[in-house]
Structure 1
Amino acid sequence: MSVCLREVILLRVVFVDANETLAAVAERVVQLEGLEFSINRDPGIKPDSLPELLKGASVAIIDHTALSREIAEKCTDLRHVVFLGTGARSYMNPEELQAIGITVHTIKGYGDTAVAEFAISLMWAAAKGLATMDRGIREGRWLRTNGLQLTGKTLGLVGFGGIATECSRLALGIGMKVVAWNRTPRSHPGVDFLDVPDLLAQSDVVSLHLLLTDETRGFMSRERLKAMKPGAILVNTARGALIDDEALIEALTHGPLAHAAMDVFDTEPLPAGHPFTRLENVTLSAHSAFRTPEASDNLLAAARDHCRRIMAAS
């Protein structure tokens, strides 16, 4: 007599907002015995659709969809959120979710090299006026800009985690001087650690690498922007809310900043007609610093490992 044994399902997981690229990676990478895994291929899903989507699922993998406490309370089976990145606080309040029995897990380090390369790319584009020339040529204007030579200039890194460490490696390799500030004491070969006022005063380029917290929100205030070196460039691949937008527009319009290059914004997508889009001395990208095949593989592998740990603890 033969006995048909059904697979034992230990954990039901839903990836709630996968784009085409991440869905393909997730199908290949997120595989575990005892894991029932489904993917919602609508990256534009609305938060109020989550309770229905997450019926029976104890884990939600989230890339960019907001999850308020009000919505989470309606997801009655949900016990864990695996957020794809470190910036969960831009989309949810981990403490509020913890209070109703939902643990938020974040993923660090998966794209340190990708983001660092992107930050350095934004620095180069800003220093050489590449976006301005590109826009002008497309409009039939033969614009020629005077670029900033970066060799011998100073890069200031605000926050010194994995991404900034990679930035320092790349910048030192092209002959820049690197200074940094971190909230907790750090040391690193070739990098001078300064306090914030000295870093801002000395740096030809300032690149932000802070997590967004209540303490760092608005870190680049009007006072700090005014304290930057005249003609400096500001690069942000961290979180848009680290900068006071109105103060940044003022600093770009009236000084001291020469240019801002940003991959992240307080509101995303950046609204049409936003003042940043009307300033010639701004280079914009669409929150894409971490989007490389290597980083995506690392990201979904880390999400799978979170699921494995959750199963082991169940």
Structure 2
Amino acid sequence: MRAVFADCTEELRRVIETLGLQVPSSVRINHGTPTEAELIELCSDRDVLFVEHTSVPASVFAACPSIRAVIFMGTGAGTYLDLDDATQRGVEVMTTPGYGDRAVAEHTFALMFAAARNIATMDRDLRAGEWKPLGGLQLENQKIAVIGLGGIGATMADLASSVGMRVSAWNRTRKDNPNFVADIDEALDGATVVSLHLSLSAETCGIIDLRRIMLPARGFILVNTARAALVDEHALLEGLSGGQIGHAALDVFPEEPLRATNPYTKLANATVTAHAAYMTDAAYAELWNRTLKAYNRLADRSRL
């Protein structure tokens, strides 16, 4: 069995080399983001495709019938390839959940604090030569609505509890978690902070709409390190301009990379990062190890 890692980032390359992580001889690594034509060439003689951030159109599978499995290095595979088309072609799609739970939760925590204390705003002002001390929100005893109680959401709930926040956490299925509430509207009601940790699906797309944006306390902080489409973007921008949302701290966007003309870049009450919540050396190493474990399972199966 032969595999190709189509889009190794510079950060992951550095981690693999620095930590001396295993790279099987049957795995070819391509550095950078390939075009569709380059992706087809990379996959032409391979059985398994590893992909970290590159969209894989159906034309790649059509041109490369040797590909029998895709290992998506993350959880949201459906955002990057057509899962129904892959199934129809007999291409198995595997994911690597859980590798960055702590990394993403810590980034979410950092964004929450940055928004609460206007860190990015003061940084921008100081760099522009303006001395404008700004007050902020003390988070102890504030209510946080954690929407999604998977590995990341549960870790975020624990971090928020550790600084004395009152956690109200909702999940689509019941969770054995002391902060769990069965009604999303109840979780959102009166919250000072809302933190999103759901996977994106037909059921969750736009789950935070204008009605739900009106449920938390006026001026609340919205943190999203999950998927942009969980929030109705028109409602989000309306909430920011009207003051119902006091600050949006975002790591994900409808269109990435974020363009300089995007409205979020012009808003003083938005703190933005470049879809980097999962990017720590520890998370990258775990991601690579989990990817190889999935590959080894495929290889073992092929030998049966």
- Report what 2:248 is aligned to: 260
Q: Which has the larger radius of gyration?
A: 1
For 1:31-42, list aligned pairs within 5 A.
Answer: 31-32=23-24, 35-42=25-32
Structure-1 separation of matches of 2:94 and 2:15? 20
Q: What is the distance in 1 between the residues matched to 2:284 and 2:253? A: 21
Q: What is the number of residues matched between the two proteins?
A: 300
Does residue 15 of structure 1 match 2:5? yes
Shift of 1:255: 2.7
Give 1:196's aligned residue: 184
Return the match for 2:99 from 80, 105, 110.
110
Matched residue, 1:167:
156
Residue in structure 1 matched with residue 218 of structure 2 by the alignment: 230
| Structure 1 residue 29: Cα displacement | 2.9
Distance 1:131 1:36, change over 3 A: same
Q: Which amino acid aligns with 1:68?
A: P
The equivalent position to 2:265 in structure 1, one of 270, 273, 277, is 277
**Residue of structure 2 equivalent to 1:135:** 124
2:234 is matched with 246
Identify which of 138, 144, 147 aligns with 1:149: 138
Stretch deviating more after TM superposition (269-278 or 193-202)? 193-202
- The question of whether the paired residues in 1 share the 8 Å contact of 2:190 and 2:215 is answered with no
Q: Is the 8 A contact 1:225 1:251 kept in 2?
A: yes
* In 2: Cα distance, 1:297 partner to 1:222 partner: 39
Q: Displacement of 1:156 after TM fit? A: 0.8
Cα separation, 2, equivalents of 1:208 and 1:152:
20
Query: 2:166 matched to which residue of 1?
Result: 177
1:59 aligns with 2:48: yes
Q: Deviations over 1:232-285 (max 9, x none)?
A: 100001011111112101100013110000111111101221011111000000
**Is the CA contact 1:181–1:196 (under 8 Å) kept in the aligned structure 2?**
yes
Report the CA distance between 1:95 and its aligned residue. Answer: 2.0
Is the 2:174–2:180 contact (alpha carbons within 8 Å) kept by the matching residues of 1?
A: no
> Could you tell me which amino acid in structure 1 is paired with residue 115 of structure 2?
A
Instruction: Report if the CA contact (8 A) 1:179-1:194 is conserved.
Output: no
Structure 2 residue matching 1:207: 3-state secondary structure = strand
5 Å-filtered alignment, 1:70-85, equals 70-85=59-74
Q: Please identify runs of 4+ aligned residues in structure 1 that moved more than 6 A.
A: none
- 2: distance between equivalents of 1:63 and 1:47? 15
Alignment check: 8 A CA contact 2:174 2:182 kept: no
3-state SS of the aligned residue for 2:2?
Answer: strand
Measure how far apart 1:48 and its partner are.
3.0
Is contact 2:48–2:68 with CA below 8 Å preserved after alignment? yes
- Measure the CA separation in 2 of the matches of 1:221 and 1:68: 30
1:205 corresponds to which residue?
A: 193
Q: Is the 8 A contact 1:29 1:304 kept in 2?
A: no
Specify every segment of 5 or more residues in structure 1 that has no aligned partner in the other structure, as ranges: 1-10
Moved more, 284-293 or 141-150: 141-150
What is the rounded CA distance, in whole Å, between the counterparts of 1:192 and 1:241 in structure 2?
Answer: 23
Q: Could you say if the C-alpha distance between residues 12 and 243 of structure 1 is closer, same or farther in structure 2, counting changes exceeding 3 Å?
A: same
Q: Shift in Å at residue 26 of structure 1?
A: 4.5
TM-score, normalised via structure 2 length: 0.95
Does the C-alpha gap of structure 1 residues 55 and 24 become closer, same or farther in structure 2, counting only changes over 3 Å? farther
Aligned counterpart, 1:6 = none
Contact 1:50 1:75 in 2 (8 A): no
Task: Give the secondary-structure state (helix, strand or coil) at the position aligned to 2:141.
Answer: coil
Tell me the TM-score normalized by structure 1.
0.92
Look up the equivalent residue of 2:280 and give its one-letter code.
T
1:71 to partner: Cα distance = 2.6
CA deviations 1:200-249 (Å, max 9, x no partner) are: 22211000000011111111112221233211100001011111112101
The alignment-based identity, stated in percent, is: 40
Query: Does 2:214 align with 1:214?
Result: no
RMSD (Å) for aligned C-alpha atoms: 1.4
Per-residue displacement from partner, 1:32-57 (whole Å, max 9, x unpaired)? 4xx51111112x32123211111211
- Residue of structure 2 equivalent to 1:300: 288
